[in-house]
Amino acid sequence: MIGVGKTTLAKAIYYHKAAVEHFPIRVWVTVTEGAAYKAQVLLMKKDGTKDQTLYVTQVRDHLKEKLCLVVLDNVSNTKDFDKLYEILSGSGMINGSRIVLTTRFKNVALHADTSNTPHQIRLLTKEESWELFKKVTGTEKTKLESKVEKLARNVVGRCGGLPLAISSIGCVLQAKGMSQENLLWVLERINHGNYKAQWLQAWKKNKQELSETMSNCLYYFILFPIDFEIPARRLVNLWVAEGLVKQNNQKTAEDIAEKCLEDLRDCNMIQVVALKSNAKIKTCHLPSMLREIILQDSNRTRHHQYSGIPLSVFFFDKREGSKPGEHVEKILSKGIASEQFRDIRVLDLERIFRPQLPRTLCKLIHITYLSLRWTYLEEFPPFIGKLLNLETLDLKHTCIRVLPSSIWKLKKLRNLYLNQKYRSRLEGKLRGNYQENLQTLWGVFMYGDCPLLQDLHKLKNLKNLKLAFQLTETEKETLAKKIAQLNQLHSLRLRSVNEIGSPKKLILYDMSKLENLSSLQLFGKLKDKLHLNSFPKNLTDLTLSESKLSDDPMPKLQSLFKLKSLCFYADSYKGRSMVCITDSFPQLQVLRFWNLRELQEWDVKEGAMPSLVEFEARSCRNLEFPTGLKHLKTLCLIKLYKMSEQFMNILNHKKTLSDDVEIHC
């Protein structure tokens, strides 16, 4: 997509200090379609001699002499790439030279290098867009008036995460001044100018390449209000419930839906609003300009033409008080009585304050998705067992404490979300193999008398499990053994507490056979010797809280070679020192220390954590500044909160860090 930042990223690599020092010869080729032989290039020499403008065919002799970095910018077809590559490779480039290719066409990138996955540049997130805007306008350290900031964020939002649009608008405002008048002037030109042209061009290109599944999922965004931030979890479950994605022999419907969402991001059809710590999509939306284009196209092509019988019902009423809940009851009662809602598959009441559910809701026998998240509903009607086609039931952020035993009648249930803070309990025992489809069980609270304690291992297809519990030692051992039998688990969160929610001892059983488990969060005291053998080798995300470990955990955790995110929260470690040795944590990208009050020394050896991108430290007041940070060549971001004065003077040490490191205090 034009303006997403391909050339900017290539220039950042081209002019980077490390690239200048490593490659004595650097060549930049801007390719005009169909003119590969005539493309002019800029030859940069390290020795300071005057830059020369040469033709591609004249560069070949230079490429035989020394290490060379060649950038082929804006290659639009495979034919041009083949011509250029023939010239470059025919020159006999010495081993170690590199070619960087930028293109708007994925087939060109795949053709150029069949052995690696192309790096696809996504649209900026909401916060990344705002940071870029402030940087371009020179207002990074300026506190804007509330009205001006609100209007400025609206302007940035209309750019849809496109860096080029944000930068060009920012430059205009930097020159004219950041005032309401100027912002309104810019907003008017965005809405009626040629900014929509690049979105229209992107839509025309991608529309032809989108699969039918991706196209249907993209059109689904239109059902949500403009600029509405949609959780990825919500979209995935809705797409499955609507039948937009189907499972196959290799993957579940949820896996396919998640991949579809990622593909839409990669082709810049959606904007990520926020990311999870593991870099997966947390929330997203459809850029407003693209939404307008797709909506017009939908109306013209009659895509998703309304038949008069709704299959999905959404409510987006943000009013406070009882009015929204009463309004919901009237609409549902009327729709059910008239049989207009007889075929409903989706009923989404997320964020409607305490909706009143009519008794006749049990007549919606085709419903597959029911969301009451953030409704603060206090009771759930007992007729839940009559909704036999229900696949997703979302009760997170409600005040429901007990779910009736009739829940176990739902053979097709795939996802069940409860509110752990309200100690939501499940009544009754599992019924035979009824729950063989259950994949997500999130937010359940377990006491010793909970029947699920003895039956948990029967949920053999469970992928995501979040449990909090108040149990005896013997009951904890039983639970640990049951969990160790859930071979399909991908994500596991365990929280051991007492009657007031304070951390208690957490017992782990051997989980080394849980080969699919990639994300693990533990809250509670672990044995003094961390039993690493109980951790599966495929973990990519590990979070420890209140673990009270006294021995340095790093020597044992470093054998988890696939770790990408490692977080130590709230007294997870009580020792005074940590050591990260050479070659440890080869894939680790994010490391966080929060509230480690006794930690004083963190020794980072040269060659440790070679992929670390972000380090964050909060309330570690005794931690001294680790000089070993200078060894972390990939480190881009350091976040510091409530640290010691010595550590907060990190700016004095910045000369020992890479110039690329950003520091947020």
So what's the pLDDT on residue 56? 53
Kindly list the distances between the CA atom of residue 374 and the CA atoms of 220, 283, 355, 380, 400, in Å, as whole numbers in the listed order: 22, 16, 11, 14, 11
Q: Specify the pLDDT at position 30.
A: 82
DSSP letters spanning 232-275: HHHHHHHHHHHTSS---SSS-HHHHHHHHHHHHHHTTSSEEEEE
Ordered DSSP codes for 162-225: -HHHHHHHHHHHHHH-S-HHHHHHHHHHHHHSTHHHHHHHHHHHHHHHS-HHHHHHHHHGGGSP
Strand partners, 522: 494, 544
Indicate the class that CATH gives domain 126-193.
mainly alpha
Q: Of 1.10.10, 3.30.70, 3.40.190, 3.10.450, which CATH number belongs to 198-301?
A: 1.10.10
Please state, in angstroms and as integers, the Cα–Cα distance from residue 575 to each residue in 112, 282, 498, 592, 627, following that order.
Answer: 51, 34, 25, 16, 19
Kindly report the CATH class assigned to 6-112. alpha beta
Spatial contact of 245 and 218, defined as CB atoms under 8 Å apart: no
Any idea what the Cα angle at residue 450 is, between residues 448 and 451, rounded to 5°? Answer: 125
Q: What is the pLDDT of residue 55?
A: 52
Which pLDDT does position 50 carry in this prediction?
A: 43
Across the beta sheet with 52-55, the strand order is: 52-55, 40-45, 25-30, 68-73, 98-101
Q: What is the pLDDT of residue 149?
A: 92
Question: What is the pLDDT, as a whole number, of residue 656?
Answer: 62
Same fold for the pair 6-112 and 198-301 = no
Q: Would you state the structure tokens that stand for residue 215, as one six-digit string?
A: 């196209």
Output the CA–CA distances (angstroms, integers) from residue 359 to 341, 356, 380, 382, 472, in the order listed: 14, 10, 11, 10, 40
pLDDT, residue 46, reads 39
Rounded (to 5) percent helix, strand, coil in the chain: 35, 20, 45
Q: How far apart are CA 138 and CA 178, in angstroms?
A: 10
DSSP E strands in 51-201: the ranges are: 52-55, 68-73, 98-101
- Distance (Å, whole) CA 437 – CA 415: 9
Under-70 pLDDT residues of the chain: 32-63, 90-94, 193-194, 300-309, 432-434, 528-533, 650-656, 658
Check residue 44 and give its pLDDT.
41
* Measured CA angle at 236 (ends 232, 238), to 5 deg: 115
Sorted by sequence, the CB contacts under 8 Å of residue 135 that are 6+ apart come out as: 170
Domain boundaries, the chain: 6-112, 126-193, 198-301, 542-665
CB 625 within 8 Å of CB 653: yes
Percent of the chain at pLDDT > 70 equals: 90
Q: For 402-453, what is each residue's pLDDT tens digit? A: 888 888 889 999 999 999 888 988 887 877 666 889 999 999 999 988 889 9
Residue 525, pLDDT score: 94
Residue 569 near residue 594 (C-beta atoms within 8 A) = yes
The rounded distance, in Å, linking the Cα atoms of 362 and 326 is: 18
Q: What is the per-residue DSSP string for 490-509?
A: SEEEEEEB-TTS-B-B----
351 and 384 Cβ atoms separated by less than 8 Å: no
Rounded CA gap, 659 and 315, in Å? 49
The pLDDT score that the predictor gives to residue 421 is 87
For residue 352, count other CB atoms closer than 10 A to its CB.
25
Side by side, which strands form the sheet with 281-285? 230-231, 281-285, 271-275
One DSSP character per residue, 540-576 reads: -EEEEES--B-S-SHHHHTT-TT--EEEEETTSB--S
Contacts 24+ apart (CB under 8 A), 376-382: 378/354, 380/404, 381/357, 382/406
**Residue 244: what pLDDT?**
92
For residue 335, what is the enclosing H or E element? Answer: helix 323-337
| pLDDT for position 646 | 79
Longest dimension (CA), the chain: 84
pLDDT at residue 36, as a whole number: 45
How far apart (Å, rounded) are the C-alpha atoms in residues 443 and 441? Answer: 7
pLDDT for 64 equals 72
